[in-house]
A and B are shown apart, each in its own frame.
Chain A
Amino acid sequence: MRIMVNGAPREVAAETLAEALEALGQGGDTVATALNEEFVPAAARARTLLAPGDRVEIVAPRQGG
């Protein structure tokens, strides 16, 4: 299905957020996720179902002030 990943449209073969992360090559533990502007804990990704048009944000540690 077609979803938005970090602001860009992506086609993923996935039913859940966890599967989408795997499909996108981001299954590691150094990312945090949000779905439609709400935080999704790592432990909840496998039971978080995706729908077409969902907005997924994937973030990682970065420099900050």
Chain B
Amino acid sequence: MVTFYGSELPSRLMLGTAQYPSPKVLAEAFRRSGAGIATVSVRREAAGGEGGAFWDLVRELGVRLLPNTAGCHTAREAVTTARMARELFGTDWIKLEVIGHADTLQPDPWGLVEAARILSDDGFKVFPYTTEDLVLAERLIEAGCEVLMPWGAPIGTGLGLANRYGLRSLRAQFPQVPMVVDAGLGRPSQAAEAMEMGFDAVLLNTAVAKADDPAAMAEGFARAVEAGRLGYEAGAMEPRDMAAPSTPLIGKAFLA
């Protein structure tokens, strides 16, 4: 079980709802992933738009919703978006994105902290999309964040854990803070690696939605997340350079 802001979640896999080939495939991917949290967004609506249909679809998934502020580039924009999302989705959980760099979608640290403080003071449970930066993590925690979501790699790249040293340091520096590796994961093995490092959950979207068979990939990630978590909890052996026989030497028949 993983706990975010006092709520226990049934799964350590969190899944996005964008880019699937069809609503049916989305629903099947969620079913096979066992994900307990779905990320969603708010976008401009024309009269008679599709918002109502999508709302019905995500409610039927039966999972907890985590609205995002994707695409926001200023704290002000993110705060207004978060408030609209809170009313629409009926949750005070918010995945806070304040983007600072167009090509990498790297968070703007200053805007992120400013928005996190305003939203935390306003009663939101903030899940900040952040980097592995230790000082930024400290500031976000001071601003009221009880969960951190460092990137594995830039959104949509599928590069996996681009900065292992940075992620290990972040994990070690704040052992009590629940952390989700969010973005950049492309393969189940990369999710397993994040879990083996001691991260509490992973959040992904493109890797599943853009797979040839999204539902099968969703299950693949679900198993990888469980495998990686078990590996972490079990405590892995230390690697060594020289071979060490696993079969006992004592008692071997003398046949030379």
- Whether B84 pairs with A61 at a CB distance below 8 angstroms is no
What's the nearest-Cβ distance from chain A to residue B106, in Å? 16
- Whether A61 pairs with B68 at a CB distance below 8 angstroms is no
Against B, the Cβ 8 Å flags (1 = close, 0 = not) of A25-44 are 11010111110011101100
- Whether B87 pairs with A41 at a CB distance below 8 angstroms is yes
> Is B163 among interface residues, defined by CB-CB distance under 8 A?
no
A47 to B42 Cα, complex, angstroms: 24
- Whether A26 pairs with B18 at a CB distance below 8 angstroms is no
| Chain B stretch 106-157: residues in CB contact (< 8 A) with chain A | 155
What's the nearest-Cβ distance from chain B to residue A40, in Å? 9
Contacts of B45 in A (CB 8 A): 6, 26, 30-31, 58-60
Contacts of B77 in A (CB 8 A): 37
What's the nearest-Cβ distance from chain A to residue B48, in Å? 7
Against A, the Cβ 8 Å flags (1 = close, 0 = not) of B165-193 are 00000000000000000010000000000
Interface size on A, residues (CB 8 A): 25
- Whether B88 pairs with A6 at a CB distance below 8 angstroms is no
A15 to B18 Cα, complex, angstroms: 37
Q: Which residue of A lies closest to B49 (CB)?
A: A60
A34 to B210 Cα, complex, angstroms: 33
Contacts of B39 in A (CB 8 A): 64-65
> Is A1 among interface residues, defined by CB-CB distance under 8 A?
no
A31 to B52 Cα, complex, angstroms: 9
> Is B21 among interface residues, defined by CB-CB distance under 8 A?
no
Choose one: A32, A37, A38; the contact of B88 (CB below 8 Å): A32
- Whether B41 pairs with A62 at a CB distance below 8 angstroms is yes
Q: Which residue of B lies closest to A63 (CB)?
A: B18
A26-B47, A39-B83 known; A64+B88 contact, CB < 8 A: no
| Chain B stretch 65-96: residues in CB contact (< 8 A) with chain A | 67-68, 70, 76-77, 80, 83-85, 87-89
Choose one: A25, A28, A38, A62; the contact of B42 (CB below 8 Å): A62
Contacts of B40 in A (CB 8 A): 61-64
A49 to B165 Cα, complex, angstroms: 54
What's the nearest-Cβ distance from chain A to residue B155, in Å? 7
A58 to B44 Cα, complex, angstroms: 6
Can you name 24 A-B residue pairings with CB atoms under 8 Å? A25-B48, A30-B45, A30-B55, A31-B51, A32-B42, A32-B83, A32-B87, A33-B84, A37-B76, A38-B80, A39-B83, A42-B87, A57-B44, A60-B88, A61-B54, A61-B88, A62-B41, A62-B42, A64-B16, A64-B17, A64-B40, A65-B16, A65-B39, A65-B206
